[in-house]
Structure 1
Amino acid sequence: MQIELTPAPFPDAPVLLLIAGLGGTGNYWLPQRAALSEHYQLVVYDQRGTGVNREPLPNDYSLADMAYEIHSAVLQQGITHYSVLGHALGGLVALQLALDYPASIDRIAIINGWLQLNAHTRRCFAVRETLLRDSGPTAYLQAQPLFLYPADWMAANQPCLEAEEAMHNAHFQGAENLTRRLNALKAADFHDTAAHIHQPVLLICSRDDLLVPWNCSVELHEALPESTLEVMPWGGHACNVTDANNFNQRFLSAMSALQQIEPSFQKENV
């Protein structure tokens, strides 16, 4: 798997892995890269089945597979400890990494995540799957911004949306890969395992998220042993894109506070 490492901003800078959502590509994080690269060495990548790592995915593709693939790629770069910032599906992969490789994961931040797929979110995905199946990738991609961005932001950013749609059309991951990655997302359930995640976790959500209701982050916050919840009043599902400056400031401030908290499994080993 191809991954990108940014230069370390200073000696022994902490490493931060960025994991996108269902779109899967690393360019999702463009609004964060400049701000975060001053504080972290970033690991950015296109998930397997997307972008430069596009290849056919197996029918039984799972969240554990996603975690294994990126963890193996990070280890190959000689990185044994890192934190994770994940958006939606990427946040689920972050939780899986914490469960499967706890000694390597320092801290986690999740944007608009959940314990188990909410009924409303499941309905939204069903609509999107119907569009993909019955009307094709173009219709699917035309509808995608409706689930990601606030209406006022979309109205003010039409040229950006048109360019984004053209890029996604040109680099579409394929219906089969998208469906298999979506099936892995829908199967994820952390109700019985969240209590075993002992890393400090930052949860950031947006109250006006159309795809994932913000109370899903509240439920996740209540299930995790060590978590902090930041609620943004506006920004939609992709609040780190639509309100990037606000998001970046919140993230850096909250993560700085989490740096003072040791994962409980490390405390137990002292």
Structure 2
Amino acid sequence: MPFVVIDDQPLHYLDQGHGPAVLLGSSYLWDGNMWAPQIEALSQQYRVIVPELWGHGESGQLPTSVQSLDDLARQALALLDHLDIAHINLVGLSVGGMWAARLALQVPERINSLVLMDTYLGAEPEAARQYYFSLLKMIEDAGAIPESLLDVIAPIFFRPCIDRESALYQDFRQALQNFSKERLLQSIVPLGRLIFSRTNILDQLPHLDANTTLVMCGEHDKPRPPAEAREMADLIGCSLKLIPDAGHISCRENPDFVNEALLTFLVNHA
């Protein structure tokens, strides 16, 4: 996987396949492998680009220039310019959707289509923001994700009935445990605070193109429940597709459904 230096830090990204370009924006606390089933399916027909968030995977630490989600959108645009990609299909999950929507609003002429998955463009509800900030403070104080927090944080990303002995759950739990103190303090904690203190841009959603936008959400998504997805789809005027048997990381919990939905959507818009 190649790198590009943006804002003095190396951004790690996957670039696989040929055809119209599709950029996949990842969730907080997940590296590019969260999209493995989609990369395999989409790269048969599309050029799939997957940048890894700062401090995640092989990307460098969060640049000091990043003060808001608009900066993540600007950096994604810098990656597209580096790759000489004039037009893109954006698929963003969680924070990937938060910055993808901002990018679509900033440069609509560059966006062929937009899929917002398990995400929310409003501000974080205050009770949730305080809760997440308390978790981040515990991680910061410990310089690690303590054992006691692993089974508090990991279940947030999955449907309630997930088998906690499954490889999907255990691999993610182990990945949380593997974050170094340096990565946690320099990138993960400050990026989390930035995400959970984001501004509300719901009033801008009517400016997105309803004909080229799709909202998707896991039926059992706890942090980003279907009611939020329905609110955004109504504001945009676009379709909403609920993903059965899936929580927040719907692309991994029901990959076949997600792959079919993306391929069906992209064939008409890419």
Band of TM-score, shorter chain = 0.7 to 0.9
Q: Is the 8 A contact 2:115 2:215 kept in 1?
A: yes
Which residue is equivalent to 1:145?
154
Cα distance, 1:138–1:36 mapped onto 2, change above 3 Å? farther
Give the corresponding residue for 2:253: 242
Distance in 2 of aligned mates of 1:214 and 1:62:
25
Q: 1:109: Cα distance to partner? A: 0.6
Q: Unaligned regions of 5+ residues in structure 1, if any?
A: 260-270
- The alignment status of 1:36 with 2:42, answered yes or no, reads yes
Deviations 1:69-88 (A, max 9, x none): 12111211111111111111
CA distance 1:66–1:214, change in 2 (3 Å): same
Q: Which moved more, 1:146-155 or 1:78-87?
A: 146-155
In the alignment, the residues of structure 2 paired with residue 147 and residue 4 of structure 1 have an alpha-carbon distance, to the nearest angstrom, of: 26
3-state SS of the aligned residue for 2:58? helix
Aligned: 1:125 with 2:137: no
TM-score for both structures, normalised by structure 1: 0.83
2:178 corresponds, among 170, 175, 178, to 170
Residues 91-150 of structure 1, C-alpha deviations (whole Å, 9 max, x = no match): 011101111222211111111111313526435524532542455423444432210112
Change in 2 beyond 3 A, CA 1:183/1:130? closer
Q: Distance in 1 between matches of 2:200 and 2:121?
A: 6
Structure 1 partner of 2:16: 6
Give the 5 Å matches for 1:200-211. 200-211=212-223
Q: Please point out which of 217, 224, 233 is paired with 2:236.
A: 224
User: How many equivalent residue pairs?
Assistant: 253
In structure 2, give the amino acid aligned to 1:196.
H
CA distance in 2, matches of 1:35, 1:60: 32
Q: Is the Cα–Cα contact under 8 Å of residues 121 and 212 in structure 1 kept in the other structure?
A: no
Q: Which residue does the alignment assign to 2:31? A: 25
CA RMSD of aligned residues (A): 2.3
The letter for the 1-side match of 2:178 is A
Greater Cα offset, 192-201 or 235-244? 192-201
Superposition TM-score, scaled by structure 2 size: 0.83
CA distance in 2, matches of 1:74, 1:238: 25
Match of residue 161 from structure 1: 169
CA pair 244-82 structure 1, distance change in 2 beyond 3 A: same
Report Cα offsets for 1:194-252 as digits up to 9, x if no partner: 12223621111122111111110011111115x22101232111111111112211222
The residue type paired with residue 38 of structure 2 is Q
State the secondary structure of the residue aligned to 2:240: strand
Q: Against the structure 1 CA distance between its residues 88 and 33, is the aligned structure 2 distance closer, same or farther, given a 3 Å change threshold?
A: same
Counterpart Cα distance in 1 of 2:89 and 2:103: 10
Question: Are the aligned partners of 1:46 and 1:52 in contact in 2 as well (CA < 8 Å)?
Answer: yes
